[in-house]
Homo-oligomer: A and B are copies of this chain.
Amino acid sequence: MELGIIGLGKMGFNMAERLRLAGHKVVGFDFNKDATAKLTATGNLGVNSVEELVKNLSTPRAIWIMVPAGDPVDETIAQLEPLMEKGDTIIDGGNSNYKNTQRRHDEVKAKGFNFVDCGTSGGVWGLKEGYSLMIGGDKEPVERLTPIFQALAPSATEGWGHVGPSGAGHFVKMVHNGIEYGMMQAFAEGFSIMQAKEPLNLDLTQIAHIWQKGSVVRSWLLDLTAGALDKNPTLDGLEAWVPDSGEGRWTVTEAIDLNISAPVITESLIRRLRSREENNFTDRMISIMRGAFGGHDVKKS
């Protein structure tokens, strides 16, 4: 089957490669000419414009957008629409907010095209192990694209599914990432407690490996953690500074909108915010209060 891919970054490029290995034909575009050249070199077809990409696909076309969430998605859709024909399908495989997805679906559909959302998990390991795909949108285009999903997924019958109407794919991916935040924070706290118990002199790398088999916390995240600790057991050079990519905070505000209490996912986000607050204002406010009522010594910076 043919697939256009716009956006050949870490994720997009590897997906093209996985599709090629499964016998599909990918036409890819990226502003980065090295990426398109490399795509051609690996046996797919890299092109230098969206026009060229559209031209090189037979109808009904399927074009996968793998660009940063937000304006780039809208801009790409705007570029595509004049070039497309009725029945063509755009798939947004990025981390878009599901509300934008639902809006885009309606706008694109009004013009006679299909719009499918696909939450894509798997990171840099997806090429080898397959991507987990959470798909939302209308039945017809999703069914038509089944061979693509089967090739990208870990297997034809596993790790992917059509989870609901437009937006459902990105909604489920958003929640997936919220859970991921919570799991990461839980593991990180546990390792932090262990490293602080100095008299026991625990070897975190050893423990991570032990837990990989037979324990209740065994997980892919733990496998990766064990591997990372093998290379850097003392966390040298890592900064205590954690970004958040949008999906965590969307999960938190969505939970509030739905009147669902989600303290652990929320706290995981809050701790990421905290990691980036320098000379924490809240703590300094508490310091000034303590000084005011107790005459407590205020530690000067």
Chain A interface (Cβ within 8 Å of chain B)? 10, 121-126, 129-134, 136, 153-155, 158-161, 163-165, 167-168, 171-172, 175-197, 200-203, 206-207, 209-222, 224-225, 227-229, 232, 235, 237-243, 249, 251-256, 258-277, 279-296, 298-301
With A123-B293, A215-B159: A229-B277 Cβ-Cβ less than 8 Å = no
A286 near B184 with CB under 8 A, answer yes
B183 near A217 with CB under 8 A, answer yes
Give every chain B residue within 8 A of A243 (Cβ-Cβ).
296
With A160-B210, A176-B217: A196-B126 Cβ-Cβ less than 8 Å = no
Give every chain B residue within 8 A of A285 (Cβ-Cβ).
187-188, 191-192, 225, 235
A211 CB contact (under 8 Å) in B132, B242, B282, B299: B132
Give every chain B residue within 8 A of A159 (Cβ-Cβ).
210-215
State A271–B204 Cα separation when bound (angstroms). Answer: 25
Residue of A215, A229, A284 with most partner-chain B CB within 10 A: A215
* A–B pairs, 5, beta carbons within 8 Å: A132-B210, A134-B207, A164-B200, A186-B265, A190-B251
> What are the 8 tightest A-B residue pairs by CB atom distance, in nearest-first order?
A182-B186, A219-B219, A159-B213, A132-B214, A132-B215, A188-B285, A240-B283, A240-B280
